[in-house]
A and B are shown apart, each in its own frame.
Chain A
Amino acid sequence: QVTLRESGPALVKPTQTLTLTCTFSGFTLGSSGMCVSWVRQPPGKALEWLALIDWADAKDYTTSLKTRLTISRDTSKNQVVLTMTDMDPVDTATYYCARGVTTLRFFDYWGQGTLVTVSS
């Protein structure tokens, strides 16, 4: 079955770079139509889509954070990595990775999420 799991630091300091890893199983990112996205949710607030990488290694980012985000993949390890530079307390959130199907344009499997707190 399809599973995804996020990993990374629970606490980062302001101005630091955050690196999150999504390790997945049950599908192959290199298969046509597959993609993985990152979505975050500040405490008590709405979901915010951040980035996507697909089976062809195409990437897309949310407009407001485009200059700070980088998404990449390691298909041999079944991992997708998100880096976010210049972290700020407003970036405190639960970060989720989710599988998508590019032709259907939704996210059908989600990781449990990882809470990242930005504080000095």
Chain B
Amino acid sequence: DIQMTQSPSYVSASVGDRVTITCRASQGISSWLAWYQQKPGKAPKLLIYAASTLQSDVPSRFSGSGSGTDFTLTIRSLQPEDFATYYCQQGNSFPRTFGQGTKVDIK
């Protein structure tokens, strides 16, 4: 199984900050990576797929990059509604696997 490791597990940031979250795969996954945002008590929401393609209706302050084993989610200017937990997910092979999550909290 492919293991997905996110870092950091927790980030404390302020509105307007630039936030970067990293996801590393235990083996190469090409660009088969998605990012999700989850708020408390809610289902995950797809933000980015194929490593860098923004899902429709997702604000352009979100961006993704990477290929192979190392990937990054960047939030350019953090907004109040962005405080949430973020997960990466690999789609290269079965079983599908998620990272352990990164919580973005208010400083």
Residues of chain A whose beta carbon lies under 8 Å from any beta carbon of chain B: 37, 39, 46-49, 52, 60-63, 96, 98, 104-108, 110-113
Which residues of A sit under 8 angstroms from B46, Cβ to Cβ? 106-108
**Is there an interface contact between B34 and A48, defined as CB atoms closer than 8 Å?**
no
Which of B38, B45, B95, B100 is within 8 Å of A49, CB to CB?
Answer: B95
Interface extent on B, as a size class?
Answer: 20 to 34
Q: How far is the CA of A108 from the CA of B91 in the complex (A)?
A: 13
Residue of A nearest to B94 (CB): A60
- In the complex, the answer to whether A106 meets B95 with C-beta atoms within 8 Å is no
Q: Quick one: which of A52, A62, A105, A108 contacts B55, CB cutoff 8 A?
A: A108
Q: Which residue of A lies closest to B92 (CB)?
A: A105
Question: Which A residues are in CB contact (< 8 Å) with B49?
Answer: 104-106, 108
Whether A106 and B91, one on each chain, are in contact in the complex, defined by CB atoms closer than 8 angstroms, is yes
Q: Is B84 an interface residue (CB 8 A)?
A: no
Which A-B residue pairs are the 9 nearest by beta carbons?
A105-B91, A106-B34, A110-B43, A49-B96, A60-B94, A106-B49, A47-B98, A62-B95, A46-B100
Q: In the docked arrangement, what's the CA distance between A47 and B97, Å? A: 9
Q: Is the CB of B44 within 8 A of A37?
A: no
Would you call B81 an interface residue if the criterion is a C-beta within 8 Å of the partner chain's C-beta atoms? no
CA distance A72 to B92 in the complex (A): 23
Rounded to whole Å, the gap between the CB of A45 and the closest CB of chain B is 8
Q: Which residues of B contact A39 (CB under 8 A)?
A: 44, 98
In the assembled complex, the Cα of A106 lies from the Cα of B98 at a distance in Å of: 11
